[in-house]
């Protein structure tokens, strides 16, 4: 009965989620029709075309959005910066990066200190593989934006990796992000581990595993991950210690949690790794 109840609950949540998504798009479709009726009454109104263009953009009909933005521009829409920002964003979303760059350049000529256009301009430049130029604009955004989020930091750091595998600087970017946003931002710490492993900084990567062991509730999982990493780096004695710690961490879990499929699978992986190491020694 409990399993049936859980299954029904999951189905209900999925239906609600899907309904919410469809309602949002349905609402946009209705607003687009209403805006189209207004345009039919006032076909020379540049603002109406801009507003319908933005609705199309939200509806992910990017070609129609661009068509309306261009019509709005042709009719003399007065908000020059807003129009060029929306054009740049829509061209970017539609993978037309050269056109996106044209619009973002027009914006920057009028206002080079707006943080949001600096970020979008950097993103466009990355798509055009102009990494060195992109770094300049992303750096400005990171230094001046008030509401940066972890994804901004990760995206900025990734430019250094894509450009020339510069893990040293990419790691510095993550550290700056951790200073700005707080040391316990999981996604930044996880990306830091990725970079340390990829750049073969084994000892620092092990320290990073210790960070997760100390600062998360899933100690059994991170002990196992650490053991696996130690084994892959030929530190078998340390790996065996981490395996024993993983076992104890599993035993410390609530009995019901120990019997979940996820923990049973983890326990099997722990024993397989232990067997692999001991048979090789």
Place of tokens 């603002």: 47
* pLDDT above 90 as % of the chain: 85
The token pair at 270 is 């722990």
Full-model pTM? 0.81
Please give the helix or strand (H or E) that residue 101 lies within, else none: helix 97-110
Higher per-residue confidence, 18 vs 130: 130
pLDDT in tens, 62-93: 999 999 999 999 999 999 999 999 999 999 99
pLDDT in tens, 199-212: 999 999 999 999 99
Asked whether the predicted pLDDT for residue 14 surpasses 70, the reply is no
- Mean pLDDT over all residues of the chain? 91
DSSP code of 216?
S
pLDDT at residue number 26: 63
Which of the four pLDDT bands, split at 50, 70 and 90, describes residue 19? very low
CB 84, CB 106: distance < 8 Å: yes
pLDDT at residue number 279: 86
Task: Please report, for residues 6, 49, 142, 184, 194, the alpha-carbon distance to residue 148 in angstroms, rounded to integers and kept in the order given.
Answer: 38, 32, 7, 16, 21
- For the chain, the maximum distance between any two Cα atoms, rounded to a whole number of angstroms, is 83
Which of the four pLDDT bands, split at 50, 70 and 90, describes residue 281? low
Cα–Cα dist 170/270, whole Å:
33
DSSP code of 257?
H
3-state secondary structure 174-195: HHHHHHHHCCCCHHHHHHHHHH
Q: Does residue 157 come out as left (phi exceeding 0), alpha (psi in the -120 to 50 range) or beta?
A: alpha
Least confident span in 152-156, 165-169, 232-236, 275-279: 275-279
């Amino acid at each position: 009965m409990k399993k049936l109840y859980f299954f029904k609950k999951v189905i209900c949540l999925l239906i609600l989620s899907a309904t919410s998504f469809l309602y949002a798009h349905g609402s946009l479709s209705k607003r687009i029709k209403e805006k189209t009726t207004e345009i039919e009454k006032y076909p020379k109104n540049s603002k109406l075309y801009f507003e319908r263009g933005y609705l199309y953009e939200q509806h992910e009909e990017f070609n129609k959005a661009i068509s309306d933005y261009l019509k709005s521009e042709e009719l003399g829409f007065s908000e020059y910066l807003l129009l060029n920002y929306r054009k740049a964003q829509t061209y970017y979303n539609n993978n037309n990066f050269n056109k996106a760059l044209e619009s973002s350049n027009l914006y920057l000529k009028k206002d080079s200190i707006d943080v949001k256009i600096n970020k979008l301009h950097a993103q466009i430049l990355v798509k055009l593989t102009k990494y060195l130029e992109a770094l300049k604009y992303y750096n400005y955004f990171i230094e001046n934006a008030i509401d940066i989020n972890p994804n901004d930091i990760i995206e900025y750091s990734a430019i250094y990796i894509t450009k020339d595998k510069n893990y040293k600087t990419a790691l510095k970017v993550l550290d700056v992000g951790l200073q700005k946003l707080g040391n316990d931002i999981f996604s930044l710490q996880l990306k830091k581990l990725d970079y340390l492993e990829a750049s073969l900084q084994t000892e620092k990567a092990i320290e990073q595993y210790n960070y997760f062991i100390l600062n998360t509730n899933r100690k059994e999982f991170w002990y196992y991950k650490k053991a696996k990493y130690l084994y892959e780096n030929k530190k078998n004695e340390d790996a065996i210690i981490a395996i024993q710690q993983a076992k104890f961490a599993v035993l410390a879990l609530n009995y019901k949690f120990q019997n979940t499929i996820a923990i049973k699978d983890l326990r099997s992986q722990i024993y397989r790794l232990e067997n692999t190491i001991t048979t090789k020694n």
